Amino acid sequence: MAAAMQEAGTGENLFAAGDIKGKAQWFRSPADVLAADEDTLDELIAFVEKGGATFMSPIHADLAAVVCTAGTLESHLAIVSREVDVPCVMGVSLSVEIEDGDEVSLDLSDAMVGKVRVEKADEVAA
Task: Please name the helix (run of DSSP H) or strand (run of DSSP E) that holds residue 31, with its range, or none.
Answer: helix 30-35
Residue 99 has pLDDT above 90, yes or no: yes
pLDDT band for position 121 (50/70/90)? low
- Cα(61)–Cα(64) distance, integer angstroms: 8
Mean pLDDT on 58-80: 94
| pTM of structure | 0.91
What digits encode the pLDDT tens for the residues 12-46? 999 999 999 999 999 999 999 999 999 999 999 99
Residue 76 Cα distances to 66, 81, 106, angstroms: 13, 8, 21
Residue 110 is predicted with a pLDDT of: 96
Could you tell me the residue ranges of all domains in the chain? 3-108+115-120
Mean pLDDT on 71-90: 94
Asked whether the beta carbons of 82 and 15 are under 8 A apart, the reply is yes
Side-chain half-sphere exposure of 105, counting CA atoms within 13 A = 12
CATH H-level superfamily of 3-108+115-120: Phosphohistidine domain (3.50.30.10)
pLDDT > 70 in the chain, percent = 93
